[in-house]
Amino acid sequence: MKFPSKIFNSHPKTDGDFFWGIKKILGFKPKDIAIYKKAFLHRSMNKRDSDGNPLNYERLEFLGDAMLGTIISKHLYKEVPEGDEGYLTKMRSKVVSRKHLNELGKDLNLLRYVESRIPKSHFGENIHGNVFEALVGAIYLDRGYLYCEKFINARVIKPYVDIEQLEGKVISYKSLVIEWCQKQKKTFHYDVYEDTGNDELKHFAVKLTIGERMTAKARATSKKKAEEKASKRAYFALQNKIENR
């Protein structure tokens, strides 16, 4: 379904600035600028199309995620002919990790185009990567696969995808620690509990025990972040043993 430009408020100068800004980011002219506007429309705007369907970037984000994964997979398949399925999957995960997508969104300063009723200072970190994926989805709908591939090659693969560097990039210290414990037949346990203290935001603390020894502890604003932080500390405490396994 195409979304006619008239569903958005028409502001010729603003629309022109948006068009040329998007063209500069893409490296080619967009055909249907309304699709790209949708890629920057936050759900807090509560906009709908003529059929009553919500208009925001979330469905484009879903599509962009799939396109990004497909194009990165194709690149790795061609560049690393000796890589098995497990290797290729791990390498793709490093390229499309949430942290990396957030960095891409920040590098392109995509947040400046987001329409929202929520102050941008209140957004979480992941909106940068979400909007980047939505932009990829918009490119696919507007110009098709080849232009989508052209954009990802220029903005992701050429500047950031170095096979040797990716091989050494850790995306999850928790996975590394757990894998090492399992291979060494060591028991491990993450003891997580609330530890708000005097902070306004809720915090969680975690103690990581390996075998009979408390190996590392950390605190963060989510259980997942606290576990990863403790795992990273444990990894460096045990680095020689883990890397020589």
Question: DSSP string spanning 189-201?
Answer: EEEEEE--TT-SS
Please identify which of the residues 65, 142, 227, 228 carries the catalytic annotation.
65
Among residues 139, 136, 63, the alpha carbon closest in space to that of 105 is found at 136
Confidence label for 2 from pLDDT (cuts 50, 70 and 90): very low
Q: Confirm whether 191 is a catalytic residue.
A: no
Residue 220 has a pLDDT of 86
Q: HSE-up of 179 (CA within 13 Å, CB side)? A: 9
Question: Do residues 202 and 221 lie in contact, with contact meaning Cβ atoms separated by under 8 Å?
Answer: yes
Per residue in 43-52, pLDDT tens? 999 999 889 9
Q: Which two tokens stand for residue 43?
A: 């759900």
Please identify which of the residues 133, 142, 227, 228 carries the catalytic annotation.
133
CATH of domain 173-243: 3.30.160.20
Which of the 8 DSSP states describes residue 10?
A: P
Q: Which residues of the chain are in CATH 3.30.160.20 domains?
A: 173-243
Separation of alpha carbons 64 and 224, rounded Å: 25
Q: Which two tokens stand for residue 75?
A: 């690149």
Per residue in 132-188, pLDDT tens? 999 999 999 999 999 999 999 999 999 888 877 777 766 678 888 888 889 889 999
Per residue in 191-237, pLDDT tens? 988 876 666 678 888 999 999 899 999 988 888 888 988 988 988 88
Separation of alpha carbons 132 and 127, rounded Å: 8
Q: Is 122 left (phi over 0), alpha (psi -120 to 50) or beta?
A: alpha
If residue 16 lies in a helix (H) or strand (E), which one and from where to where? Answer: helix 12-26
Residue 1 has a pLDDT of 45
**Does the pLDDT value for residue 115 go beyond 90?**
yes
Separation of alpha carbons 104 and 132, rounded Å: 7
Question: Do residues 166 and 95 lie in contact, with contact meaning Cβ atoms separated by under 8 Å?
Answer: yes
Q: Which residues of the chain are in CATH 1.10.1520.10 domains?
A: 5-167
Choosing among 1.10.1520.10, 3.40.50.300, 3.40.50.2020, 1.10.3720.10, the CATH entry for 5-167 is: 1.10.1520.10
Among residues 163, 33, 17, 32, the alpha carbon closest in space to that of 90 is found at 163
Q: Confirm whether 58 is a catalytic residue.
A: no
Handedness of CA 51, 64, 69, 23 (dihedral sign): positive
